[in-house]
Structure 1
Amino acid sequence: MASRMLKFVKVQRQMPHKREVAARAHDFDEIYDDFSTPSAAEQASRCSQCGVPFCQVHCPVHNNIPDWLMLTAEGRLEEAYEVSQATNNFPEICGRICPQDRLCEGNCVIEQSGHGTVTIGAVEKYINDTAWAEGWVKPVRPAREREQSVGIVGGGPAGLAAAEQLRKKGFQVTVYDRYDRMGGLMIYGIPNFKLEKEVVERRTKLLAEAGVAYVPNCDVGRDVSLEELRRRHDALLLATGVYKARDIKVPGVGLDNVRPALDFLVASNRKGLGDAVPAFEDGTLNAEGKDVVVIGGGDTAMDCVRTAVRQGARSVKCLYRRNRQNMPGSQREVANAEEEGVEFVWLAAPEAFDGDTTVETVRACRVHLGVPDATGRQLPQILPDSSFSLPADLVIKALGFDPEDLPALFGCPELETTRWGTVKVRYPSLATNLDGVYAAGDIVRGASLVVWAIRDGRDAADSIARYLDNKTAGASATAVAAE
């Protein structure tokens, strides 16, 4: 092992080739090329194989990263794939969109020692793309089929991860989703330049081949009641995600062309998928030729500014009330946006949106970061007499997401929620107050990462399996007693 690993002192960190700005800023193709086999092996060999792998500790699904890096360095790619997919239902997706700089790579031991992190995400993407190309990725085939069925409300990462885990155990699984495609925000929220849609679609197709049934265009509460789903299935998982856009209370927020981020991103992604999108065609949700101002500092804001660049916006500005060091989004995404011509207006907050019927300018004010609050983040304080204006033909609000009112939406007032509107569950089982009903992903933890949704979906699947096993055991014991 030592001859192939521990090469971080001699081999420099290197990412796959990133396409030049002049080329990538005009299309929606992924911006990084694939590693070559020698390059992937060389970068994997930089791993220090440390005794306490902080990369694994800080991965939400606890991927066995050192082992699959070692196997990659040794050219044992099929084994590396097996290790990679053992803890992650969508490793090729996480390799593309996880904020590795905040998770595994950000906690790499050799990064802390000044040698530059192992390129974990790029190697993970290489391993799993190779597995798809070589035909190593196969649909789940359970050892035995069970009659019990599980209904899953929501076809995003939490719901699909749970579906695969439950199919492995032989349960009959049906996924209900309000949209016409499965994948949730992976298909409609994340732009192609970060995650090409064929990557998601081949995974959802694989799950269908494994026996997962899909019911698209099904709005629970309108097309079918939650109570009906509870009667139809032996257990139920709520994995709806959070889609309610947070708003901002300033004058002019109701003007035309002041739009929520998700509306803008969904229109762009649907257009890329070949759908008819009237709001894009008439220019409402198309940034071409416009001065665009995006408000927010998270990954959704970065998706919006970089999408606007590719649509041909005249100018793109990101207005954020804190500084770069306090941005919640990935620093790598910020750097990519800057390279592509996005202008960041730090320490600035919107004061009003000015215009008659359509927004014409964003009036903003300067912000000073004061003392930290209870969470440790410095509180933004408005500086008096600091107003300034930015031209704007399109304003995109990327302020985060809150949960919808599920008890009202589902016609199920007895479903307990927290004071934040998320579904209230018991830990570690993720069971709700309704018998046989579980919840996972953003609808429990609030807006978060795809990888955390995968983790929650896997945990919920384990709890549902135990619940159904106990139910079966109880029924068998009752039958024996009756005899």
Structure 2
Amino acid sequence: MAKQPMLRFVSVGKEMPEKRPPDLRTEDFGEIYGEYASEKAAEQAGRCSQCGVPYCQSHCPLHNNIPDWLRLTAEGRLQEAYELSQATNTFPEICGRICPQDRLCEGNCVIEEAGHGTVTIGSVEKYITDKAWDEGWVQPIAPTAERTESVAILGAGPGGLAAADVLRRAGVQVTVYDRYDRAGGLMTYGIPGFKLEKPVVMRRIEQLEKGGVEFVLNCNVGEDISFDAIRGKHDAVLIATGVYKARDLSIPNANAPGVLPALQFLTASNRKSFGDEVPDFDDGTLDAKGKRVVVVGGGDTAMDCVRTAVRQGATSVKCLYRRDRENMPGSRRETQNAEEEGVEFVWLTAPLGFITDDAGDLSGVRVQQMRLGKPDASGRRAPEVIDGADYTEDADMAIMALGFEPEDMPSLFDQPELAVTRWGTIKARFNTHETEMPGVWAVGDIVRGASLVVWAIRDGREAADSILTYLSAPAQVAAE
């Protein structure tokens, strides 16, 4: 009888794929984790306890069938494992790389709670999907029958692309409109290559193109084509534009040269990785080389910025965050990676203003020190200013990673009837993602506010199912 492939967590310890040493990985923008060998992937997948109530699955926004594809991996049935993973997740190789597993599936693993170390779910997911690409198991979409209905998707980020995938598999004609010259949204231009190498994104987009998804790029809806024209051309419209407007700080010299929004900094770096011409990078404006860099913020975008600045050759990189390590919103794994790479975290601090030299260029950040007081409405302890504890951090570049806000979508699309919340996000039904405009849906960050890629994927897949129902019985659904 073959040896039991599962329940090996008692005898086999947790082991991540090999991570490149900091002094080597900071020399380039390649991913920092290697791949499992097939035997190691099977061994680590075999640590799963196959528990009766899989908390990993319930805490995954996509409710991926994690225990089953772990078992298939442990048994060497890798193609089946990939197909099961792909059944609920449009981009498993991307989620395996960038999902904060420590806050989601792995953070709720039963054997982790028992002290044995979590199953390395994300790394196994990445392994089986990369294996699927290598072996040719990932094929272009081939609907069993084509349909005449067409759907417009505004935004080529994860939410829009996930919906496009589901709709094309059902035979619907899909056109994706996006303002950028490449599809992928923040997966292409926001997330650095050391977390998500760009060929990984581009091959998925190519798969969608080969499967019949049409992309209209460099297209600003509301300028190059009107929203009404798109509605008139298609049977349904899905808004998946994301949120790109940086949150501002109302402090002195916030617009000084050298004070940059995070996305502008990250986009320039990612464009250079594609070989694009980026004048603001080439003239040094968006290049951290030789500079003292201060990043403000404690989320995953801030971690992307500090680690990018290190790779660009910054003299020093510091991250200011107004709460402490235990209360920061970013991934603990990313924080650890940043510290290994030389980033200094200055906890319980916030910018009070920016200091410029005689030429008007940034020379420092005036910092106020904080302490944690009583919990606020969210349950987190609120930061309070310590009077008289201000000081100056020297800086040649300050990057604001304070989150993103939605653009004024009703004005941008010239659609005053497009209902939005008091935060400016589009109003949409929770389960169907329908807006208050007939035949128009909305998903992802433009509804949720800035969130995770995996949540956008879930929204896109759910909205696609709702759109398919609408297209099959439009009169009935519209009446409802």
TM-score range, shorter chain: over 0.9
Indicate conservation of the 8 Å contact 2:235/2:439, yes or no. yes
Provide TM-score, normalisation by structure 1. 0.97
- CA offset at residue 474 of structure 1? 9.3
> Which residue in the other structure is 1:49 paired with?
50
Query: Secondary structure of 2:100's partner?
Result: coil
Query: Secondary structure of 2:191's partner?
Result: coil
- CA distance, structure 1, for counterparts of residue 362 and residue 322 of structure 2: 20
Instruction: Could you tell me which runs of 5 or more consecutive residues in structure 2 were left unpaired when the two chains were aligned.
Output: none
Greater Cα shift, 423-432 or 98-107 = 423-432
> For this pair of structures, how many residues does the alignment match?
475
Q: 1:395 and 2:398 equivalent?
A: yes
Q: Where does 1:172-251 land on structure 2 (aligned, <5 Å)?
A: 172-251=173-252
Which of 441, 462, 465 is matched with 2:465 structurally? 462
CA offset digits 1:132-173 (Å, max 9, x no partner): 000000111111111000000000000000000000111000
> Which residue in the other structure is 2:171 paired with?
170
Q: Where does 1:5-154 land on structure 2 (aligned, <5 Å)?
A: 5-154=6-155
Which of 357, 371, 376 is matched with 2:374 structurally? 371
Q: What amino acid does structure 2 have at the position aligned with 1:185? A: L
Indicate conservation of the 8 Å contact 2:48/2:70, yes or no. yes
- CA distance, structure 1, for counterparts of residue 3 and residue 263 of structure 2: 48
**Aligned-CA RMSD value:** 1.1
CA offset digits 1:302-335 (Å, max 9, x no partner): 0000000000000000000000001100000000
Q: 1:288 and 2:282 equivalent?
A: no
- CA distance, structure 2, for counterparts of residue 351 and residue 14 of structure 1: 43
> Which residue in the other structure is 1:479 paired with?
none
Seq. identity, %: 65
- CA distance, structure 1, for counterparts of residue 201 and residue 461 of structure 2: 18
Query: Secondary structure of 1:252's partner?
Result: coil
- CA distance, structure 2, for counterparts of residue 41 and residue 163 of structure 1: 33
Q: What amino acid does structure 2 have at the position aligned with 1:444? A: V
Q: What amino acid does structure 1 have at the position aligned with 2:286? A: L
Q: What amino acid does structure 1 have at the position aligned with 2:377? A: A
Distance 1:426 1:473, change over 3 A: closer
Query: Secondary structure of 1:71's partner?
Result: helix
Q: What amino acid does structure 2 have at the position aligned with 1:331? A: R
CA offset digits 1:348-383 (Å, max 9, x no partner): 011110014111010101101100012101111000
Query: Secondary structure of 2:153's partner?
Result: strand
> Which residue in the other structure is 1:337 paired with?
338
Q: What amino acid does structure 1 have at the position aligned with 2:318? A: K
- CA offset at residue 22 of structure 1? 1.0
Instruction: Could you tell me which runs of 5 or more consecutive residues in structure 1 were left unpaired when the two chains were aligned.
Output: 476-483
- CA offset at residue 471 of structure 1? 2.1
Query: Secondary structure of 2:24's partner?
Result: helix
Q: What amino acid does structure 2 have at the position aligned with 1:64? A: N
- CA distance, structure 2, for counterparts of residue 402 and residue 363 of structure 1: 25
Q: 1:444 and 2:447 equivalent?
A: yes
Distance 1:461 1:474, change over 3 A: closer
- CA distance, structure 1, for counterparts of residue 369 and residue 197 of structure 2: 38
Q: Which aligned segments of 4 or more residues in structure 1 are displaced greater than 4 angstroms? A: 472-475
Q: What amino acid does structure 2 have at the position aligned with 1:371? A: K
> Which residue in the other structure is 2:318 paired with?
317
> Which residue in the other structure is 1:266 paired with?
267
Query: Secondary structure of 1:276's partner?
Result: coil
- CA distance, structure 1, for counterparts of residue 55 and residue 301 of structure 2: 27
- CA distance, structure 2, for counterparts of residue 40 and residue 182 of structure 1: 31
Query: Secondary structure of 1:293's partner?
Result: strand
- CA distance, structure 2, for counterparts of residue 175 and residue 209 of structure 1: 14
- CA distance, structure 2, for counterparts of residue 346 and residue 472 of structure 1: 56
CA offset digits 1:13-46 (Å, max 9, x no partner): 0000000111001110000010000000000000
Query: Secondary structure of 1:380's partner?
Result: strand
Query: Secondary structure of 2:368's partner?
Result: strand
- CA distance, structure 2, for counterparts of residue 67 and residue 471 of structure 1: 37
- CA distance, structure 1, for counterparts of residue 181 and residue 3 of structure 2: 51
Indicate conservation of the 8 Å contact 2:163/2:464, yes or no. yes
CA offset digits 1:266-295 (Å, max 9, x no partner): 000000000000000000000000000000
Indicate conservation of the 8 Å contact 2:182/2:217, yes or no. yes
Provide TM-score, normalisation by structure 2. 0.98
